[in-house]
Amino acid sequence: MAFLITVGVVLLTVGVLQHVNTNDFSLTPGQATRVAPLVKIDGLTTNLHADTIMLADVYLSPLNAWQWLTAHLQSHVEFVNANELVEPGIPTDELNAQGYLEMSDSKQAAEVAALRALGWKLRGVPSGAVVTGVVVSSPARKAGLSVADEIVGVNGTTIRSACGLFAAIHSIAAGAVVRLNVAKAHIDAKGVITLRTPRVVALTMAAAPRGQGASGCAGVSGPNRSYLGIQPEDGFHFALPGRISINTKFIGGPSAGLAMTLSLINKLSAGTLTGHWVVAATGTIDVNGNVGDVGGVAEKTIAVEHAGAQVFFVPKVEVPLALANASSGLRVIGVDTLGQALRALHALGGDTPVALTTPR
């Protein structure tokens, strides 16, 4: 009888803990995936013998109290509080959409950075203010604005950037009705973002919260008179030669940027970019080829080793963390720019990339 009571108490405790949220997430090693099979290019000559260049991802999982306890008994688990993943006022239910938007931005940046590295002269055209977060109970939330929506107009004024949006709403009083022209985003189950034809969204501006910081935009000074409740970024459009697509279904976040850029350069150039080394990479990329730091480097190091990587590019600031989790058989190379990564590959025996299609 005592045994049955003990078992019952344990089961009851586990059941209760499974329904208690901790506000914490776990980062665990994901997969290292070859990028070349994910890439499709039309209208440009490609290298049919692509080198092995892998992206690395991690699993980000919300934890209830029971999962939190059991995760502490496992190896290679990093714990992250929700407050480290989202800005104040942004709910965690936007994390998936934010991750897919970051991946979409990363793919565009990788395409531009790769083509520029091969000699194309590409210029971005400002397209609007893209929503990256919507604050709980804000006018924007109540009006149905979502992550990845692009605001292209305010009360008939064309908007081309985040600062353009801040300037347009800066002097609007609380209680005023504002008509936004918004290209609503549809994010499918695989994370693919499609923008719809812009339509008008009317909302009522709220009083600006206390302590709201300055926008940092030139020509926009002093406190805002009202409050929209979004975090925006600049939207850009690039006219690219050919058509490039990268199938990153179910993968979010910006950390595959460097890996995708190197893979595109390899696909669009002659010879072997890697010198036939098995390469993995993590790090954000921007259109100018700058590499930024990422999360989960320890877990990604484990993932790429399991996948057979011989060389692992990481942001310079995260080299110590990668080395602490790498075996002696994995060469870890820290970089801050795409150019540094290309020079490192050349030093390992890789060819200097020359575009198979003459840039115009």
pLDDT band at residue 79, thresholds of 50, 70 and 90? confident
Inform me whether the pLDDT recorded for 163 exceeds 90. yes
Inform me whether the pLDDT recorded for 82 exceeds 80. no
Inform me whether the pLDDT recorded for 224 exceeds 90. no
Inform me whether the pLDDT recorded for 181 exceeds 90. yes
Mean pLDDT of 162-188: 96
> How far is 72 from 79, CA to CA, in rounded Å?
9
Inform me whether the pLDDT recorded for 114 exceeds 70. yes
Higher pLDDT residue, 134 or 89? 134
pLDDT band at residue 13, thresholds of 50, 70 and 90? low
Tell me the angle at which helices 95-117 and 257-268 cross, rounded to the nearest 10 degrees.
40
**pLDDT tens digits for 241-292?**
999 999 999 999 999 999 999 999 999 999 999 999 999 999 999 999 999 9
* pLDDT at residue 194, as a whole number: 96
- CA quadruple 176, 179, 180, 182: dihedral sign: positive
Inform me whether the pLDDT recorded for 11 exceeds 70. no
Q: What is the largest CA-CA distance in the chain?
A: 83
Inform me whether the pLDDT recorded for 14 exceeds 60. no
* pLDDT at residue 65, as a whole number: 79
* pLDDT at residue 127, as a whole number: 97
Q: Where are the domains of the chain?
A: 2-89+241-347, 124-238
pLDDT band at residue 2, thresholds of 50, 70 and 90? low
Rounded to the nearest 5 degrees, what angle is found at the Cα of 107, between the Cα atoms of 334 and 151?
125
Q: Which CATH class is domain 2-89+241-347?
A: alpha beta
The CATH architecture assigned to 124-238 reads Roll (2.30)
* pLDDT at residue 7, as a whole number: 52
Mean pLDDT of 14-24: 71
Inform me whether the pLDDT recorded for 8 exceeds 70. no
**pLDDT tens digits for 25-68?**
887 888 999 999 999 999 999 998 879 999 999 888 888 877 87
pLDDT band at residue 319, thresholds of 50, 70 and 90? very high
Inform me whether the pLDDT recorded for 349 exceeds 70. yes
* pLDDT at residue 197, as a whole number: 97
Per-residue three-class SS string for the chain: CHHHHHHHHHHHHHHHHCCCEEEEEEEEEEEEEECHHHEEEECCCCCCCCCCEEEEEEEEEEEEHHHHHHHCCCCCCEEEEHHHCCCCCCCHHHHHHHHHHHHHHHHHHHHHHHHHHCCCCCCEEEEEEEEEEECCCCHHHHCCCCCCCEEEEECCEECCCHHHHHHHHCCCCCCCEEEEEEECEEECCCCCEEECCCEEEEEECECCCCCCCCCCCCCCCCCCCCECCEEEEEEEEECCCCEEEECCCCCCCCCCHHHHHHHHHHHHECCCCCCCCCEEECCEECCCCEEECCCCHHHHHHHHHHCCCCEEEEEHHHHHHHHHHCCCCCEEEEECEHHHHHHHHHHCCCCCCCECCCCC
Inform me whether the pLDDT recorded for 133 exceeds 60. yes
Q: What percent of the chain has pLDDT over 90?
A: 74
